[in-house]
Chain A
Amino acid sequence: MKILLFFPPWTRKLGWYLLVPSFMAGLYCIFTDFELEFLKLPMFAIYQDQFMGHTSYLSLIEDNLTMELIGVCYVFGLLFTGFSKLKIEDEFTIQMRYNALMWSTLMSCFLLLFTLLFFYGTGFFICMIFNMFSIPTIYVLRFSYLIHRSNSSAE
């Protein structure tokens, strides 16, 4: 059985170097509203909806890209850690990948239900931002745990 998309094995380490700092930076920026001033740049927006303002389509807007930059680093971190080829990629590791994917989808559904039922107002939107990343994040964590468990039990 073949999985189509795999990055080379060395990208796994790079993935962790991107993932952990961007996760911490993301949390810090969300809870402190920290933004890097020099990242206030004009950007092309397909859709922009300003609070109490007008809606614009396909326009140039000025925005601070701190969160966007952190988000991009985090997504690449997830892709590299979750979809990089292991040194030996065989049917057992593919089964672990499926297990992790199943787990992450289920957990994400539970998180979604929990958020829908118990979070309201702006708290709901903040939780939904976290939920956007929940499937790949839980997948990476579960897959890494399964690899670690398999390695340590085989020793």
Chain B
Amino acid sequence: MKNQLKVFRAIKNMTQDELAKAASVSRQTIYAIESSKYVPSTILALKLAAIFETTVENVFILEPSDFSAKD
């Protein structure tokens, strides 16, 4: 799954720290999501989309590989 967190953060002119505070998570969590090391929960994904005033689908984009069974 790809995500546009960095792009939306740049549009909103927000730092990782500011976004983390707005979403009530740690900066490490934001970094892990941005670098695709961690897939957030539905609640956090919805929260992030709400902060960017957009939909979850615009922030998080499924890739064809997500539809096939992993490992």
Contacts and interface: CB of A to CB of B under 8 A. Distances in A.
Interface residues of B, number: 15
A90 B31 contact: no
B10 interface: no
Interface residues of A, number: 13
Interface in A124-155: 150-151, 153-154
Nearest to B25: A90
Nearest to A90: B25
A88 interface: yes
A63 B29 CA distance: 50
B26 interface: yes
B27 interface: yes
Contacts, number: 35
Interface stretch (A36-44, A91-99, A104-112): A91-99
Contacts of A153: 31, 35
Contacts of B24: 90
Contacts of A93: 26, 29
A29 to B, nearest CB: 39
A154 B31 contact: yes
14 contacts: A1-B41, A88-B26, A90-B24, A91-B29, A91-B40, A91-B41, A92-B25, A92-B26, A92-B29, A93-B29, A95-B38, A150-B32, A151-B28, A154-B31
Interface of B: 16, 20, 24-29, 31-32, 35, 38, 40-41, 44
